[in-house]
Copies of this chain bind each other. A is one copy, B any other.
Amino acid sequence: MVSSFFSPGLLTAEEKRKSTGNAKLSPQTQACIECHKIYTPGIVKDWLSSRHAVTKPEEAMKKPALEKRISVNSLPDELKEYAVGCYECHSRNPEKHTDNFQHMGYKINVVVSPNDCRTCHPTEFEQYTVSKMGNAYRNIMRNPVYHTLVNTTDGIKKVENGKIVFQNASYETLHETCLGCHGTKVEVKGMKKVYTGPAMGEVTVPDLTNWPSQGVGRENPDGSIGACTACHPRHSFAIEIARKPYTCAQCHLDPDVPAWNVYKESKHGGIYDSKEDEWDFSSVPWTVGQDFKSPTCATCHNSLIVSPNGNVIAERTHDFGARLWVRLFGLIYSHPQPKSGDTTIIRNKDGLPMPTTFINEPATEFLIDKAEQEKRFDIMKNVCKSCHSTQWVNGHFVKLDNTIKETNEMTLSATKLMVEAWEKGIEDKTNPFDEAIEKLWIKQWLFYSNSIRYASAMTGAPDYAAFKNGWWELSDNLQRMRDMIDIKELTKKRFPEKGSDKKQ
């Protein structure tokens, strides 16, 4: 079948083995491949190495519960006969897709969305869509506080008559920075012609905004949110890639979310680096001690984990916060996880859409309660206990609790100095993110307090807790704030006209 598209010599042993399976390709997918083996051979070959290319969804449904990689119970007829090929995914739900277009005689969607993947993976869709990750675009772009931080940071600054003049951030730059992880809003502006090269010449395609885009909270042309390909990259969609830490590492890294940096330098990460080649990142369920001997991100946060004798240690989830009780990421203080993945609905006591106030009062009604925290904490501890004694695990988390308390206190200390600077008129609180002392204050909670918490949570990376973005910086930064207030107070008195002229 497949070998009619590629001369046999070009199929790898792996591909040949797989292509002897029962899964036939649909006529439409064969037509796709006929051309795309010439025009985009890399992704055709990548897909050929995938499980999709050799699996009929109907057979995937018949597996024992723990081994299932598909969560649907009944399939549309047109998917029963064939492997999951180009056409099967790129033709789903055309009525919803504003990016659907006539392409060489077929109606094709440019963007495959989570709502399309839902056809076979509904549970994953449902968990993901209500998660913070699925809402990542909304949470940063539609929360005025965070959007101000983003806009202030990423906007061009011109110097006119010696003054710094702020401009709004361009969408392109947001796309390269925050929205690289959070996702962009992808819409269809109409159709356009693109010159594809000498072989095919001009082709007419939907004109997409903010494309390409792979961020986790992408807003799609079919109205759905998210991008499964953020972690299951095209077109192998390999579970191995999603389970290896490099995938999470793309976004969860220093200086603000150094989960990857900390993991890499932890004992767990060191064992992983030494031994990963001997482990099995593909088996479902994933057996502790047998498939792997040290956890990756996926082990603790979302994979279905079982013991060698088949007991379930943790259920699979695609709501990546579902096993978390506390949110280490301070906004501006560490706090219990929010109830809803859409965090724009939160209002703290000051009326701001933030989970804590400036003096660390949590917006309790929007955060999970004690009982829910305990429940999630137990799920996580159960993973730890696959290898560690209860005393070990408890001792570990007592330290984490202390770290949260102390880093919150250090954030509060910085906030007090910030307030002093505002009250003295040294800096202007209208935009709390655009002046020198304000930026030191941001670093206190966003970089240093966060780094220490991640380091503590994984008992790793003493440098991230100590000299590198840890307590060294946390303490030094406070001193810098104090000194900067004293210095700017003086500068201001000497040059009164310079005090507040740098605002937008």
Contact = CB atoms under 8 A, between A and B. Distances in A.
A503 to B, nearest CB: 12
A468 B413 contact: no
Interface in A402-425: 402-403, 406, 409-410, 413, 416-417, 420
Given A173-B406, A241-B275, A181 B309 contact: no
A110 B156 CA distance: 54
A413 B157 contact: yes
A15 to B, nearest CB: 9
A432 interface: no
A482 to B, nearest CB: 6
Contact of A387 (B37, B43, B386): B43
A172 B403 contact: yes
A309 B388 CA distance: 44
Interface in A233-257: 233, 236, 238, 240-241, 244, 246-247, 249-251, 253-256
B42 A288 contact: yes
8 contacts: A38-B309, A42-B293, A157-B478, A164-B478, A173-B402, A180-B459, A249-B270, A254-B463
Contact of A486 (B267, B274, B472, B498): B498
A396 B212 contact: yes
Contacts of A41: 288-289, 307-309, 386
B265 A465 contact: no
A158 B416 CA distance: 9
A240 B274 contact: yes
Contacts of A287: 10
A406 B482 contact: no
A391 B172 contact: no
A462 B251 contact: yes
Contact of A502 (B254, B398, B482): B482
A396 B238 CA distance: 24
A7 interface: yes
A399 interface: yes
Contacts of A43: 289, 387-388
Interface string A175-186: 111101100000
A156 B466 contact: no
> How many copies of this chain are found per oligomer?
3
A176 B390 contact: no
Contact of A392 (B176, B212, B241, B491): B212
Contact of A195 (B267, B288, B388, B390): B390
A334 interface: no
A488 B254 CA distance: 32
A275 B42 CA distance: 15
A48 to B, nearest CB: 8
Contact of A479 (B49, B288, B436): B436
Interface stretch (A24-32, A203-211, A360-368): A203-211
Contact of A439 (B110, B255, B476, B498): B476
A431 interface: no
B247 A173 contact: no
A256 B464 CA distance: 12
